[in-house]
Structure 1
Amino acid sequence: MKNIIKLLLTAALVMGLSEILPGIQTTDYVSAVLVALSLSVLNFIVKPILVILTLPITILTLGVFLLVINVLIIYLADWLVAGFKVNSFFWALIFSLLLAFARSFLFKILDKSNT
């Protein structure tokens, strides 16, 4: 149940950020849920593989390259979900940063309310 709530919170954040950021478009709430689901799957399966493959450049850039990996995950979600569109690298970077901060804040509140 907790995972479904987190998925729906992420979908609401995706929908809200697509309203705020001009470079991100989401057609409806169903596509926002699909984006949240695809981001979860991509972060679980693809991101660890990319982190391992790009470990030397990540070390050389002191971890900054992880932001590029986050942008690649956003672009993969854009490619997978038909109702989600990202216009540029810059907007994908801003979207990933805002989504990460908002998710960590909301999930921390959610975890505190359950204890």
Structure 2
Amino acid sequence: MKRIARLLITMLALILTAKIVPGIRIESIGAGFWATLILGLVNVFLKPILTIFTLPLTIFSFGLFLFVINGLMLLLTASMVNDFYVSGLLAAIFGSIILSIINSFMLDVLND
């Protein structure tokens, strides 16, 4: 039950992010659901591999390259889901930052 609540909260956070960030657009609730599901799977399976391969660059940039990796995960998700659009890497990076902030805040409220 808690996983379903987390999924719905993340979906809501993604929809709010699309309302805030000009370069991100979600056309339907279904697209938001699939984007959330695929983004979760991409973050679980692909992000750790990319993080390991780019570790020297991440260390050299004092961890700031992780923002780029998060943006790339959002762009990859947008390429897989119909009716979910991200205009470019800058919008994806900014969107991933906003998504993380909103998601952290909402999940913190859920856990209290």
Is the structural similarity TM-score above 0.5?
Answer: yes
- CA drift of 1:16 comes to 2.0
| 1:5-25: CA deviation from partner (whole Å, max 9, x where unpaired) | 111111112122222322111
Q: 2: CA distance between counterparts of 1:44 and 1:26?
A: 22
In the alignment, the residues of structure 1 paired with residue 22 and residue 32 of structure 2 have an alpha-carbon distance, to the nearest angstrom, of: 16
Helix, strand or coil: the match of 1:14?
helix
Which residue does 1:11 correspond to in 2?
11
**Which residue is equivalent to 1:111?**
111
Aligned Cα RMSD in Å? 0.9
1:51-102 Cα shifts (integer Å, max 9, x gaps): 0011111111111111110011001101110111001222111110010011
Distance in 2 separating the partners of 1:21 and 1:59: 28
What residue is the counterpart of 1:53 in the other structure? Answer: 53
Q: Write the distance in 2 (CA, Å) between the matches of 1:64 and 1:43.
A: 17
* Structure 2, unaligned runs of 5 or more: none
Q: Give the ranges of 4+ consecutive aligned residues of structure 1 lying more than 4 Å apart after TM superposition.
A: none
Percent identity between matched residues is 36
- TM-score under structure 1 length normalisation: 0.92
* Matched residue, 1:97: 97
User: How many residues of Structure 1 are paired with residues of Structure 2 in the alignment?
Assistant: 112
Mapped partners of 1:71, 1:16: distance in 2: 17
Mapped to 1, the partners of 2:105 and 2:18 lie a distance apart of 19
Q: Which runs of 5+ in 1 are unaligned?
A: none
Match of 1:38 in 2: 38
Aligned position for 1:83: 83
In the alignment, the residues of structure 1 paired with residue 109 and residue 103 of structure 2 have an alpha-carbon distance, to the nearest angstrom, of 10
Residues in 1 aligned to 2:19 and 2:99: alpha-carbon distance in whole angstroms? 13
Displacement of 1:49 in angstroms is 0.4
